[in-house]
């Protein structure tokens, strides 16, 4: 699985993508993540490497410009195609271009699963400032994605969420395959519109008088599964 992230703050990703499960997945070559500095695609004559400007019609803040984003995405697609032509990719690339945006479609587990099943390469354009020139959403991105109904300072955190949630679905990334089927949002039927969970416990069995439910200590797997089914709770929508 290949991820290509377009941002004006490339250093933000170094720590998170270099540690833990994602870091190990990258080392094993199960997941490839490349960060692109949008300023590298600014006008070559512009020493300030400008990628934003004031909005037409007036208003506060700055808006990311369409031209450098277009150039960057075009360069990434050419790079992906070149990789395939040189035989470095086993299958013909299937590319998805996402724009992170507060007004986008709400991201969920079903979307993560679809991305993993359907695409080899995901290009994620990180929004910033007061927004992104609407022509990016209309003509460059395939989809606008929001990770929640709240406003962030930029699209870098949403990009990390998307990469993390899709990467962990890739074979070999998680050490225990059962983790994908026993946890929230991933149980057998893979429901995404009816999200559930159940309480989990670990040692010690008693702490400050707070006890683990007896059924979980019983060793009776049938009763444990019945208990978990009863304990599953609907998340607030």
How many whole angstroms separate alpha carbon 228 and alpha carbon 230?
A: 5
What residue spans define the domains of the chain? 2-167, 196-237
Fold of 2-167: Alpha/beta knot (3.40.1280)
The pLDDT tens digits for 55-71 are 999 888 899 999 999 99
DSSP string, 75-139: HHHHHHHHHHHTT-SSS---EEEEEEEEEEEEP-HHHHHHHHHH-SEEEEEPPBTTEE-HHIIII
User: What are 212's strand-pairing partners?
Assistant: none
Tokens 């992170």: give the residue: 100
Mean pLDDT of 95-123: 97
pTM: 0.85
Handedness of CA 205, 207, 208, 212 (dihedral sign): negative
- CATH-assigned architecture of domain 196-237: Orthogonal Bundle (1.10)
Mean pLDDT, all residues of the chain = 89
Asked whether the predicted pLDDT for residue 237 surpasses 70, the reply is: no
Asked if 107 and 162 touch (Cβ cutoff 8 Å), the reply is yes
Instruction: Give residue 63's pLDDT.
Output: 94
Q: Do domains 2-167 and 196-237 have the same CATH topology?
A: no
The pLDDT tens digits for 75-84 are 999 999 999 9
How many whole angstroms separate alpha carbon 213 and alpha carbon 224?
A: 10
The pLDDT tens digits for 145-163 are 999 999 999 999 999 999 9
User: What are 61's strand-pairing partners?
Assistant: none
């Amino acid at each position: 699985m290949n991820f290509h992230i377009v941002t004006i703050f490339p250093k933000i990703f170094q720590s998170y993508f270099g540690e833990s499960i994602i870091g190990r997945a990258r080392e094993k070559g199960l997941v490839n993540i490349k960060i692109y500095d949008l300023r590298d695609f600014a006008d070559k004559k512009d020493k300030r490497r400008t990628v934003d400007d004031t909005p037409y019609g007036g208003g506060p803040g700055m808006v990311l410009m369409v031209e450098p984003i277009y150039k960057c995405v075009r360069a990434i697609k050419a790079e992906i195609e070149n990789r395939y032509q040189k035989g470095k990719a086993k299958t013909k690339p299937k590319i998805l271009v996402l724009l992170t945006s507060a007004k986008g479609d709400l991201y969920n587990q079903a979307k993560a699963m679809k991305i993993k099943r359907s695409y080899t390469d995901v290009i994620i354009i990180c929004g910033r400032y007061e927004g992104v020139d609407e022509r990016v959403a209309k003509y460059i991105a395939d989809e606008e994605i929001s990770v929640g109904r709240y406003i962030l300072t930029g699209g870098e955190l949403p990009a990390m969420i998307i990469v993390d949630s899709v990467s962990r679905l890739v074979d070999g990334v998680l050490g225990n395959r059962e983790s994908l089927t026993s946890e929230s949002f991933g149980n057998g039927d893979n429901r995404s519109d009816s999200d559930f969970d159940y309480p989990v416990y670990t040692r010690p069995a008693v702490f400050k008088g707070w006890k683990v439910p007896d059924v979980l200590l019983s060793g009776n797997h049938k009763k444990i599964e019945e208990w978990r089914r009863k304990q599953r709770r609907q998340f607030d929508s």
